Amino acid sequence: MKIAIDSKFHLTYCTNIHPGESWVEVFANLEKYLPNLKSRLSPQAPFGIGLRLADTAAKQLLEKDNLAQFQAWLTQEDLYVFTLNGFPYGGFHHQIVKDQVYVPDWSTQERLKYTLNLTKILATLLPEGLDGGISTLPLSYKPWWGDDQQTWDIVLKNSCFHIASVVAEMVRIQNYTGKLLHIDLEPEPDGLIENTSEVIDFYQNWLLPIGGNYLAQKLNIEQNLAESKLLNHVRLCYDTCHFSVEYEQPHSVFERLQSAGIKIGKIQISAAIQVKIPTEVEQRSLIAERLQPFAESTYLHQVIERRSDGTLYHYPDLISALPYLEKSLAEEWRTHFHVPIFIRDYQILQSTQDDIVTILHLLQSNNACHHLEIETYTWDVLPSEMKIDLLTSIQREYEWVLKNFAGN
């Protein structure tokens, strides 16, 4: 939906909140939730969808006339798709996901084929006059590769080749249809690219020279033109939870990306857990007790602590971090757990909601990105006292964004 009738900003929520890996399951959830949400939030105007499709669902949607039927349903319901979530390839609910969310990574043919299928789907569904993005993983998962630089180099090179192959298809689609599509790399803690410095390094030292050379040969164009196309079709998915966990300031991130010529394709609106760490052991025990319900077994909940000298220390998951809290040198912990964006304080704990407000304000002054997607996918695994009706929860998140966007 447009945030206002004359607005250039499109707001949606990511349907990865709903379980379902097959197209039948995905469509059943869309039928159940989307018309109801539209009637509550955008009864007189088109309502956008941030569509998450697993590999199985994407393949099934491309079979027979499924895509045409889906497109007809979207038209009938006054809905439109302008962004896809292509990060999780397989199962994402009701099973242990953890680091398997990175499988297959960008060094593999499987990830390439999956993203090409998503590209074909988005090219068909995207309305005229809009660009469309596919958010995807930050190449791979850092802990898998350790200090083996030779393996890192292979993973990075193959990732560049595969991303450039998707860009070649997106260039072809734009030449044929006029529709601009882009891959949106999504940095997160412990991803192969997890912060602004690593993103810029990847573009400058890997994607542009190596991917550019590959794309230049594939399209029979000059290297500088190939690099320009990569910068247009490979963008960043700025997940506000992830960048907050990394202690990055939105103004600085936006400025550094702009200076490097890197565009933001999508803002994912999400909040992390943050907590100041006192020196008293008793207070630390209370914090550990309050954090314990968030140390669940489905998703990775990376923790980054900031120490008094400003250094950052990483823990791969909250469940493995908690035993260290009592004697940690930390002044603050931030945890990758997508909590409801409309709640700021959780007794002893807080959320990084303030960073979202900063970004909503920033977007209106610099036009860095026009696609906004609410992404609180953890409703199923939230502590029981935080769970409320899902439809109402989604509505409250929309209303919070609209209120805070208008208030800036």
User: Which residues, 6 or more positions from 249, have their beta carbon under 8 angstroms from its beta carbon?
Assistant: none
Residue 97 has pLDDT above 90, yes or no: no
Q: Confidence band (pLDDT; 50, 70, 90) for 376?
A: confident
pLDDT in tens, 195-239: 999 999 999 999 999 999 999 999 999 999 999 999 999 999 999
DSSP state of 326: T
Worst-scoring range by mean pLDDT, 86-100, 162-176, 293-307, 328-342? 86-100
Q: Which CATH architecture has domain 10-271+339-406?
A: Alpha-Beta Barrel (3.20)
- Tell me the DSSP string of 112-151: HHHHHHHHHHHHHHSPTT--EEEEE--SSBGGGTTT-HHH
Residue 91 has pLDDT above 90, yes or no: no
Measure the CA–CA gap between 376 and 374, rounded to whole angstroms.
6
Of the listed ranges 43-57, 96-110, 116-130, 386-400, the least confidently predicted one is 386-400
Which tokens go with 92?
A: 């994402």
How many other CB atoms are found less than 10 A from the CB of residue 309?
Answer: 7
* Of the candidates 282, 257, 275, the residue with the CA atom closest to the CA atom of residue 267: 257
- Take residue 121 and report the two structure tokens written for it: 């789907």
What was the pLDDT predicted at 384? 74
Q: How many CB atoms lie within 10 A of CB 72?
A: 11
The pTM for the full model equals 0.96
Asked if pLDDT for residue 184 goes beyond 60, the answer is yes
Give the residues across from 330 on adjacent strands.
307
What's the pLDDT score for residue 24?
Answer: 98
- The residues that bridge with 212 in the sheet, in sequence order, are none
- Residue 93 pLDDT class (50, 70, 90 cuts): low
Strands laid side by side in the 234-239 sheet: 10-13, 371-374, 264-269, 234-239, 181-185, 132-136, 79-85, 47-52
Mean per-residue pLDDT of the chain: 95
**Rounded CA gap, 392 and 121, in Å?**
30
Predicted pLDDT of residue 94: 63
Rounded distance between C-alpha atoms, residue 285 and residue 343, angstroms:
23
Name the DSSP class of 62: T
pLDDT at res. 19: 86
- Residue 89 pLDDT > 70: yes
**DSSP helix/strand/coil, 307:** strand
Average pLDDT in the 117-125 region?
99
**Residues in contact with 267: Cβ distance below 8 Å, sequence separation at least 6, in sequence order:** 237, 238, 240, 359, 363, 369, 371, 372, 373
| Alpha-carbon torsion angle 84, 85, 87, 88, nearest 10 | -120
With vertex at residue 398, the alpha carbon angle to CA 394 and CA 400, rounded to the nearest 5 degrees, is 115
Domain ranges for the chain: 10-271+339-406
Angle at 337 between CA 334 and CA 340, to 5 degrees: 110
Q: Give me the pLDDT at residue 95, please.
A: 77
How much of the chain, in percent, has pLDDT values that exceed 90?
87
Count Cβ neighbours within 10 Å for each residue of 375-400 and write b for 16 or more, e otherwise.
Answer: bbbbbebbeeeeeeeeeebbbbbbeb
Q: Is the pLDDT of residue 408 over 60?
A: no
Looking at residue 246, what DSSP letter applies?
Answer: T
Query: Could you report the per-residue pLDDT of 2-59, keeping only the tens digit for each?
Result: 997 668 999 999 998 888 999 999 999 999 999 999 999 999 999 999 999 999 999 9
Nearest 10 degrees: Cα torsion 186, 192, 196, 197: -160
pLDDT at residue number 4: 75
| 22 CB-near residues (< 8 Å, 6+ apart) | 54, 56, 57, 60
